Chain A
Amino acid sequence: MQWETVIGLEIHVQLSTRTKIFSGASTAFGAEPNTQACAVDLALPGTLPVLNAEAVRKAVAFGLAVDAEIGKRSVFERKNYFYPDLPKGYQTTQLAEPIVGPGHVDISLDDGSSRRVRIHHAHLEEDAGKSLHEDFHGMSGIDLNRAGTPLIEIVTEPDMRSAEEAVAFARKLHSIVTSIGICDGNMAEGSMRFDVNVSVRPAGSDTLGTRTETKNLNSFRFMEEAIELEVERQIEVIESGGEIVQETRLYNGDTKVARAMRSKEEANDYRYFPCPDLLPVIIDDSYIEAVRETLPMLPDQWKSLFIEQYGLSEYDASVLSSTPVQAAYYEEVAKRCGDGKLAANWVMGELAKYLNQNDTEIGASPVAAEQLGGLLERIKDDTISGNIAKKVFEVMWSEGGSADEIIEAKGLKQVTDTGAIEKIVDEVIANSDKQVEQYKAAPVEKRGKMLGFFMGQVMKATGGKANPGAVTGILKQKLDALCE
Chain B
Amino acid sequence: MFDKTLAELAGGLAAGDFSSVELTRSYLDRIKNEDAAYNSFITVTEEQALSQARAADERRAAGQAGAFTGLPIAHKDIFCTKGVRTSCASRMLDNFIAPYDATLIGRFNDAGAVMLGKTNMDEFAMGSSNESSFYGPSRNPWDTERVPGGSSGGSAAAVAARLAPAATGTDTGGSIRQPAALCGITGLKPTYGRVSRYGMIAYASSLDQAGPMARTAEDCALMLGVMAGFDKMDSTSVDREVPDYRLTLNDSLEGLKIGLPKEYFAADLNPAIAEQVHNAVREFEKLGATVKEVSLPNSALSVPAYYIIAPAEASSNLSRFDGVRYGYRCEDARDLEDLYKRSRGEGFGDEVKRRIMVGTYALSAGYYDAYYRKAQQVRRLIQQDFAAVLADVDVIMGPTTPQPAFRLGEKTSDPVQMYMEDIYTLALNLAGLPGMSIPCGQSNGLPVGLQIIGDYFSEAKLLNVAHRFQQATDWHQQSPIEG
Contact = CB atoms under 8 A, between A and B. Distances in A.
A and B together in one complex: yes
Interface of A: 39, 42-51, 78, 80, 82, 84, 87-90, 142, 269, 271-273, 276-279
B364 interface: yes
Contacts of B326: 42, 44-45
Interface stretch (B45-53, B198-206, B217-225): B198-206
A273 B2 CA distance: 48
Contacts of A82: 319, 322, 340
B324 interface: yes
Interface string B349-373: 0000000000010011100100010
A46 B200 contact: yes
B316 A273 contact: yes
A46 B199 contact: yes
Nearest to B360: A271
Contact of B324 (A50, A78, A142, A278): A142
B197 A48 contact: yes
B201 A45 contact: yes
A482 B313 CA distance: 101
A76 to B, nearest CB: 10
A272 B321 CA distance: 19
A252 to B, nearest CB: 22
Interface in B42-84: 79-80
Interface in B315-347: 315-316, 318-322, 324-326, 336, 340
Contacts of B232: 50
A248 to B, nearest CB: 18
Q: What's the dominant secondary structure at chain A's contact region?
A: loop
Q: What's the dominant secondary structure at chain B's contact region?
A: loop
A47 B199 contact: yes
Contacts of A49: 235
A43 B325 contact: yes
B236 interface: yes
A257 B372 CA distance: 43
Given A44-B100, A46-B80, A269 B322 contact: no
A67 B205 CA distance: 37
Contact of B206 (A45, A80, A269, A276): A276
Contacts of A42: 325-326
Contact of B198 (A46, A87, A272): A46
A80 B233 contact: no
A82 B318 CA distance: 11
Given A51-B235, A278-B235, A45 B93 contact: yes
Contacts of B275: none
Contact of B365 (A44, A269, A276, A277): A269
Interface string B291-327: 0000000000000000000001101101111101110
Contact of A48 (B96, B235, B313, B315): B235
Nearest to B324: A84
A172 to B, nearest CB: 36
Contacts of B233: 48, 50
- 6 cross-chain pairs, A with B, having the tightest CB-CB distances, nearest first: A89-B319, A271-B363, A276-B205, A276-B206, A46-B199, A43-B320
A83 to B, nearest CB: 9
B200 to A, nearest CB: 6
Interface string B185-202: 000000000000111111
A39 B206 contact: no
Contacts of A269: 364-365
B360 to A, nearest CB: 7
Contact of A46 (B202, B315, B322): B202
Interface of B: 79-80, 86, 88, 93, 96, 98-100, 102, 197-202, 204-206, 232-236, 312-313, 315-316, 318-322, 324-326, 336, 340, 360, 363-365, 368, 372
Contacts of A89: 316, 318-320, 322
A57 to B, nearest CB: 18
Nearest to B318: A89
Contacts of B372: 273
30 contacts: A39-B100, A43-B325, A44-B98, A45-B202, A45-B321, A45-B326, A46-B98, A46-B201, A48-B233, A48-B235, A50-B232, A50-B234, A51-B235, A80-B315, A87-B320, A88-B320, A89-B316, A90-B316, A269-B365, A271-B315, A271-B316, A271-B365, A271-B368, A273-B313, A273-B363, A276-B204, A277-B202, A277-B235, A278-B235, A279-B235
Contacts of B363: 80, 271-273
Contact of B364 (A47, A88, A142, A271): A271
A48 B102 CA distance: 11
Nearest to A78: B316
A46 B235 contact: no
A44 B200 CA distance: 11
A89 B356 CA distance: 13
B169 to A, nearest CB: 16
Nearest to A268: B365
Nearest to A85: B324
Given A44-B326, A48-B236, A279-B236, 6 more contacts: A43-B325, A82-B319, A87-B324, A88-B319, A89-B319, A279-B235
A314 B200 CA distance: 60
Contacts of A90: 316, 319
A271 B369 CA distance: 11
B364 A45 contact: no
Given A39-B100, A88-B319, A278-B235, A45 B80 contact: yes
Nearest to A263: B336
Contacts of A278: 235
A274 to B, nearest CB: 9
A87 B340 CA distance: 12
Contacts of B336: 84
Contacts of A273: 312-313, 316, 363, 368, 372
A51 B233 CA distance: 10
Scoring A42, A43, A276, A277 by chain B CB atoms within 10 A of each residue's CB, the highest score goes to A276
B288 to A, nearest CB: 40
Nearest to A50: B235
Scoring A47, A80, A87, A272 by chain B CB atoms within 10 A of each residue's CB, the highest score goes to A47
Contacts of A142: 324
Nearest to B320: A43
Contacts of B364: 269, 271
Contacts of B202: 45-46, 277
Contacts of A277: 202, 205, 235-236
Contacts of A46: 79-80, 98, 102, 197-202
B371 to A, nearest CB: 10
B380 to A, nearest CB: 14
A276 B205 CA distance: 6
Contacts of A51: 235
B345 to A, nearest CB: 13
Contacts of B312: 273
A45 B326 CA distance: 9
B99 A39 contact: yes
Contacts of B198: 46-48
A269 B367 CA distance: 11
B88 A45 contact: yes
A273 B368 CA distance: 9
A321 B233 CA distance: 43
A89 B325 CA distance: 12
Contacts of B98: 44-46
A49 B198 CA distance: 9
A464 B316 CA distance: 77
Contacts of A279: 235-236
A44 B102 CA distance: 11
A132 to B, nearest CB: 14
B367 to A, nearest CB: 10
A45 B86 contact: yes
B319 A276 contact: no
A47 B96 CA distance: 15
B437 to A, nearest CB: 25
